[in-house]
Structure 1
Amino acid sequence: MRTRSRRSLIAGAIISAVLAASLLSSGRVALGSSALNQRTHAHAHAAAMQHVFFILNWLPNVEFAGVWVAQRFGWFKQAGIDMKFESWSPAVHPETDVVSRGGNSFGFQSGAAIAIAAAQKVPIVALYTDTQKSVFGLTVLNKSGINKITDLRGKRIGYQSHEIYVPETMLSFAGLKPSDYKLVPVGFDISGLTAGQVDAWLTFQTNEPIALNMQGIGNHSFRAADYGFNFYDDVLLTTRSLVQKNPALVATVTKLVARGFKYAHSHPILAANLTVNNYFHASTAGPGITAAQNLRQQILELQKFKQFSADKKGRYTGLMKASVWKASINTLFKYGEIKRKPSVTAIFTNTFNPYVNGNYH
């Protein structure tokens, strides 16, 4: 009996083991199906995501804080957008690269470059601007004795060759003739100013003057916007083809970028930290730049942007005016940068801007 019982127990154990194995096997199949379903769902979700590509006209710093805020806060993902970007290099030209790349491509570029491309019949359209006033300016050292723009008479002015129309416009507005000063082609390294090679330097007011201040070098600037230079900078653009084929995507991207910049300008310290921690490390900023220095400069730059990005009511709407685009085009035509004037109404649109109807919340 014991043996039988033993055998019965063994048999029962074997049967139980077989049943357990069967159940476990079934369980594995079920688990496998679940995992497969999850993977299938993930692939389907990935396939449903719309891939959007941004082409930048500078390094990935706070100049594009609106994009970084939208990305890190998950707004793109929530909208079904997978965002990638390409940083600036000498070979990158957003105003033409968006067309050659095609697809869901967006870019950031100056209003001047956009107008020049449009004059050459490049099929692009401006959607939003982070600046209501140009951030260009002519910077001089405090020790130079140059206290007003007309003091630049007889002086050497450093400028980037592709932006000659900026100092020419400013100085003409101030009543100076080309024979009254000497334009000197320079690069982006402002050490030529501190070394005395030139007396003034064409700068981005949100960049080089801040760097000089951080080095303890006293300086002041004449803002281009105060001297007849009416241009937008940091303009979001895309192709006419995408506007026609997928206006819903264009509207979504424009909305998220606008929302991101509004948040960044309202929270510059947070947005600057987010930028340097994820996109613009000290190693990207330049050799010898510490993390603390990089963060400090990015905070100061984003705070400086406020005076250029806010409208007269202190809002960050990104809305554009035909009168500004017309003035920009006329300036480029006057100084020979374009041979034909593109249509003002064709070069930009506020249609996709979420604040176009005054709904600013």
Structure 2
Amino acid sequence: MSPRSLMSRNGSRGLLAVVATAGLLAACGSGSSDSADGTSSATLQLGWIANVENAGPYTALDKGYYEAEGVDLTITPGGPSTTVEPLVASGKALVGLSSVDVVARAVAEGAPLKIIAATLQTNPTSIMSLADNPVNTLADLKGKKLCSQTSGQSVINAVLTANDIDPDDVTMVPADYDPAPLVAGDCDAFVSVLNNQPLTLKAQGVETKTFTLSDYGYNAWGNVLFTTDEALADDDTRKTLEGIVKGTAKGWSDAIADTDAAAQLMVDGPGKDQNLDLDQQKLAMASFVDLIQTDETETNGLLTMSADGIKGNVETMQQLDVPGDDLSSLFDTSILDAVYADGTDL
């Protein structure tokens, strides 16, 4: 899994100026093209490598779901140095995967982007502690040492403040994404991703206790699909977007239904050059189920963006001081509306 928490993905790397420049330039293209047989070619740019974090799109590609929708889709993996927003804003990719707050900050800098679907309905950013010395609640952090990535400390401070906890009551210990300092006793708790560091330690025989920041009002969707205003304004490109979103939803449905098969696909196929560990990938894939499939997706379909969900994301961004006079306008549900026009059974 990505060693970067979803709350800080791309967030403090000094590259928003690049996003803004890309957004203000006339787009080089829409990230898609049409062929003589009516099939449209398009690119989906991932934020991270080809592992189970992206099992939905790869499962859809493997099973021909995009092809069935008339889309010849190329999936481009990302990595530690990948910033997705400028690639979509400049037309090098039609759709990208990123986090809500990073897309919002790019829009505030001038990038013409819209979020059209949300993969992770529950944000997996969590507080992890050792099982034999647990930190059970946010309030339990008072007087404790918390290992946190520097780029994510503003989020931690915002969540603490929103829950009437003075951030000064928690000692922040700078750390990267390796949980070794927690095991070594350098801190009492560690800012982690629910489907990453806890699983890494479990594989090493270290039992942990975790709770998610979403339990305390941190409502930020993860791995959202986004595109450009220009793409949404074009009827032909909208059909391609519908095909990508529909195919991705079907891919995630299959991946959730058989998590071991999804993990096997990633290890043997797209992620083969990453030397992924199958057992770890199976654990990680299983942990995605409750993050992707919720009561709202049962009602509205996978990748849904409900009105209540949008409201929660806006409130969270406001707590994080994300600029924007109307943050709700960042979300466009029209593609999802079209995909699920005949019901949630795709």
Q: Which has the higher helix share?
A: 1
Equivalent pair of 2:70/2:240 in contact (CA under 8 Å): no
**Which residue number in structure 2 is paired with residue 171 of structure 1?**
160
From 317, 341, 356, the equivalent of 2:302 is 317
**Which residue number in structure 1 is paired with residue 187 of structure 2?**
198
Q: Once structures 1 and 2 are overlaid, which stretch shifts more, 304-313 or 157-166?
A: 157-166
TM-score by length of 2: 0.81
1:234 aligns with 2:203: no
From 64, 74, 82, the equivalent of 1:74 is 64
CA distance in 1, matches of 2:60, 2:86: 25
1:55 aligns with 2:55: no
**Which residue number in structure 2 is paired with residue 257 of structure 1?**
248
Give percent identity, aligned residues only.
25
Q: Once structures 1 and 2 are overlaid, which stretch shifts more, 86-95 or 120-129?
A: 86-95
Q: Work out which of the two has the higher radius of gyration on C-alpha atoms and give 1 or 2.
A: 1
CA distance in 1, matches of 2:35, 2:42: 15
Equivalent pair of 1:138/1:222 in contact (CA under 8 Å): yes
> Structure 2 matches for 1:134-149, cutoff 5 A?
134-149=123-138
TM-score by length of 1: 0.78
Corresponding letter in the other structure for 1:86: T
**Which residue number in structure 1 is paired with residue 13 of structure 2?**
none
**Tell me, what secondary structure is at the counterpart of 1:197?**
coil
Corresponding letter in the other structure for 2:265: L
> Structure 2 matches for 1:165-314, cutoff 5 A?
165-245=154-234, 246-281=237-272, 284=274, 294-312=277-295
CA distance in 2, matches of 1:108, 1:314: 19
Equivalent pair of 1:103/1:242 in contact (CA under 8 Å): no
Q: Deviations over 1:215-240 (max 9, x none)?
A: 11010111111111111111111111
**Tell me, what secondary structure is at the counterpart of 1:85?**
strand
Say if 1:161 and 1:253 are closer, same or farther in 2 by CA, change over 3 A: same
Equivalent pair of 1:330/1:341 in contact (CA under 8 Å): no
1:109 aligns with 2:95: no
Corresponding letter in the other structure for 2:252: F
**Which residue number in structure 1 is paired with residue 311 of structure 2?**
326
CA distance in 1, matches of 2:342, 2:302: 11
From 112, 134, 139, the equivalent of 1:123 is 112
CA distance in 1, matches of 2:111, 2:198: 34
Corresponding letter in the other structure for 2:287: K
**Tell me, what secondary structure is at the counterpart of 1:271?**
helix
Equivalent pair of 1:250/1:352 in contact (CA under 8 Å): yes
> Structure 2 matches for 1:145-156, cutoff 5 A?
145-156=134-145
Unpaired runs of at least 5, structure 1 = 1-43, 286-290
Equivalent pair of 1:115/1:329 in contact (CA under 8 Å): no
